[in-house]
Amino acid sequence: MPRSQIKPILGVCLCTLLALACSGKARENPAPVASTASEPEAPLGAPLKATLASAPEVPPPSGRHAPAKVVVELEVREVVLPIADGVQYTFWTYGGHVPGRFIRVREGDTVEFHLQNHPDSKMPHNIDLHAVTGPGGGATSTFTAPGHQTQFTFKALMSGLYVYHCATAPVGMHVANGMYGLIYVEPRQVLPKVDREFYIMQGDFYTVGKYREKGAQPFDMQKAIEENATYVVFNGSEGSLVGDKALHAKVGEKIRIFVGNGGPNLTSSFHVIGEIFDRVYTEGGTKFQENVQTTVVPPGGSSIVEFTVEVPGTYIIVDHSLFRAFNKGAIGMLKVEGPEQKGVYSGQEVDSVYLSDKAQTSNALERAAAGLQQGTLTKEAQIAAGQQLFLGTCSTCHQPDGRGLPNAFPPLAKSDFLMADKKRSMGIVLNGLKGKVTVNGMEFDSVMPPMSHLTDDDLANILTFVRNSWGNSGDAVSSKEMADMRAGTARPPGAGH
Ligand SMILES: [Cu+2]
């Protein structure tokens, strides 16, 4: 806040203190509040307990026309949760999930904040709320050891959508483990009512294993320092807003999304494919911009976007830095139901290939991952997982039915070339292929890019699927075989790993 506004408040506080000391009459004469307040200060009344919400839910509007005393209780928990199918990560959370619970108060409220650190925690934590005016945003008052709780009180002087986060050293690591959330301070003049409000917060994560490498994945400090994210996701995990967990709305409804970015490193280019934001309260502040395609949300920053859904269908929510969306997890979905609006949009439904394997929450992938971990992986489970992965990875070129496209992409269905040499096919997916090949009597002279960014088990599952579909029949390819192949061949220039 501008200095010029802080001073008068400090002045008022000082006067109040003096008045208290001299007359003891402060109770009957509540201090006139701050120059920022356009309404007269009403008595706060009995304290209210804040209702918090877990993403993608947002707590209901306060509905109040006067400030109140609001009590917020937030519990820090260190929990193991999936960050992707079959990949576990130890998140440090405000309330058990990433992002932290959504807090909603009103401008002028006095917030009594309680931070609890669960006894099972291994680390001390604190909280810095960007909505707080005061040193550390609360961090200096809330250093909380495991099994302890702390308390401080602040006045929500400024309306807006604010990030809160942990500020315990190493701060970057606490934030990288998921310690962030949003607090919305409603303006005195509330925003117009909408049909649905959602909470989406982006974050980047750094694991020792590569993207989708199965099992428990520890935090990688060096990757975090280099800002080389393994995952970039909405609401704490890949797939948190996809398939069964997609957001829902009806044609004609007005949607408001409270967007946050916990970072710690990457600035989000928040975009909803096929929509234009009617209004964007840039950086979560009071002014709005209209007719916006993509809004920038920096780490430790926010944005409030509003739009009306005119046409039914599935809208894909992305960070428009697209490799993050398609190769690191930053994809969500908004499913809109209702009558067609051919005048606005006539056309095909969303292309499932484009959505790739993210279109469904994938039990097949989970089952295969669990099987691999427990040593019980069957060929059938590999085929099921491989089918899903094939749709996301290979089918754009080789086609969903494996028949390829003449003169462009060779067939995998009944491919004599594929089935003649298992090892060669493993080498092709890992390292790509270029030059003349003859498949089923047809000649191809093109380039297939290396697929080495995929994990060994994903590649093994895909090949097992391909080698046992569309009339092909062969043995399974194991993740071990793929690993040996990877270790035994130099990566060509441009390949991922
Ligand atoms: Cu922390």
Please give the structure tokens belonging to residue 370. Answer: 């669990």
Q: Quick check: 332 pLDDT over 70?
A: yes
Q: How far is the CA of 180 from the centre of ligand 1 (A)?
A: 9
Where residue 355 falls among pLDDT bands split at 50, 70, 90?
A: low
Q: Quick check: 4 pLDDT over 70?
A: no
Per-residue pLDDT at 42: 60
Please state the φ and ψ torsions of residue 31, each to the nearest 5 degrees: -60, 135
Q: How far is the CA of 129 from the centre of ligand 1 (A)?
A: 13
Q: How far is the CA of 220 from the centre of ligand 1 (A)?
A: 17
Q: Quick check: 470 pLDDT over 70?
A: yes
Q: Quick check: 73 pLDDT over 90?
A: yes
Q: How far is the CA of 14 from the centre of ligand 1 (A)?
A: 34
Q: How far is the CA of 110 from the centre of ligand 1 (A)?
A: 24
Per-residue pLDDT at 15: 35
Per-residue pLDDT at 47: 94
Residues with Cβ–ion distance below 5 A, ligand 1 = 125, 166, 168, 174, 179
Q: Quick check: 461 pLDDT over 50?
A: yes
Q: How far is the CA of 345 from the centre of ligand 1 (A)?
A: 47
Per-residue pLDDT at 344: 80
Per-residue pLDDT at 113: 97
Q: Can you spell out the DSSP letters for 259-270? A: EEEEESSPPEEE
Q: Quick check: 235 pLDDT over 60?
A: yes
Distance CA 69, CA 110 (A): 5
Q: How far is the CA of 171 from the centre of ligand 1 (A)?
A: 7
Task: Write the pLDDT tens digit of every residue in 215-232.
Answer: 999 999 999 999 999 999
Q: How far is the CA of 174 from the centre of ligand 1 (A)?
A: 5
Q: How far is the CA of 55 from the centre of ligand 1 (A)?
A: 19
- Yes or no: say if 90 and 66 are a contact pair by the CB < 8 Å rule: no
Half-sphere exposure (Cβ direction) of 410: Cα atoms closer than 13 Å: 23
Where residue 77 falls among pLDDT bands split at 50, 70, 90?
A: very high
Q: Quick check: 361 pLDDT over 60?
A: no
The per-residue pLDDT of the chain, averaged, comes to 88
Q: Packing angle between helix 456-466 and helix 379-393, nearest 10 degrees?
A: 100
Q: How far is the CA of 177 from the centre of ligand 1 (A)?
A: 8
Per-residue pLDDT at 347: 65
Count of CB atoms within 10 A of residue 50's CB? 22
Q: Any bridge partners for residue 93, and if so which? A: 77
Task: Write the pLDDT tens digit of every residue in 145-201.
Answer: 999 999 999 999 999 999 999 999 899 999 999 999 999 999 999 999 999 999 999
Task: Write the pLDDT tens digit of every residue in 259-296.
Answer: 999 999 999 999 999 999 999 999 999 999 999 999 99
Task: Write the pLDDT tens digit of every residue in 16-62.
Answer: 333 333 333 333 333 434 444 445 566 688 999 999 999 999 999 99
Distance CA 151, CA 265 (A): 29
Burial of 180 (0-12, 13-18, 19+ CB in 10 A): buried
Q: How far is the CA of 332 from the centre of ligand 1 (A)?
A: 27
Q: How far is the CA of 9 from the centre of ligand 1 (A)?
A: 31
C-alpha angle with apex 109: 104 to 115, nearest 5 degrees? 60
Mean pLDDT throughout 471-478? 95
Taken in order 374, 379, 384, 388, is the CA torsion positive or negative? positive
Q: Any bridge partners for residue 196, and if so which? A: 255
Task: Write the pLDDT tens digit of every residue in 91-139.
Answer: 999 999 999 999 999 999 999 999 999 999 999 999 999 999 998 999 9
At 105 the three-state DSSP class reads strand
Taken in order 74, 78, 82, 84, is the CA torsion positive or negative? positive
- Yes or no: say if 88 and 95 are a contact pair by the CB < 8 Å rule: no
Residues in the chain, overall count: 497
Reference 333, options 356, 367, 310; nearest CA is: 356
* More confident call, 197 vs 15: 197
Q: Quick check: 350 pLDDT over 80?
A: no
Distance CA 89, CA 147 (A): 22
Where residue 352 falls among pLDDT bands split at 50, 70, 90?
A: low
Where residue 452 falls among pLDDT bands split at 50, 70, 90?
A: confident
